[in-house]
Amino acid sequence: MAAAPPDPPFTWADASATLAEACSLAGLSGDEAQLIRLGENAIYRLERQRVVVRIARGIDILKDAPKKSQ
Secondary structure class of 45 (helix, strand, coil): strand
Q: Could you give the percent of the chain with pLDDT greater than 90?
A: 56
Q: Is residue 59 very low, low, confident or very high in pLDDT (cuts 50, 70, 90)?
A: low
CA of residue 25 relative to chain centroid, distance: 14
How many angstroms separate the CA atoms of 35 and 12, rounded? 9
Closest CA to 26 of 46, 2, 1, 6: 46
| Residue 7 confidence (pLDDT) | 65
Does the pLDDT of residue 18 top 70, yes or no? yes
63 vs 45, residue with greater confidence? 45
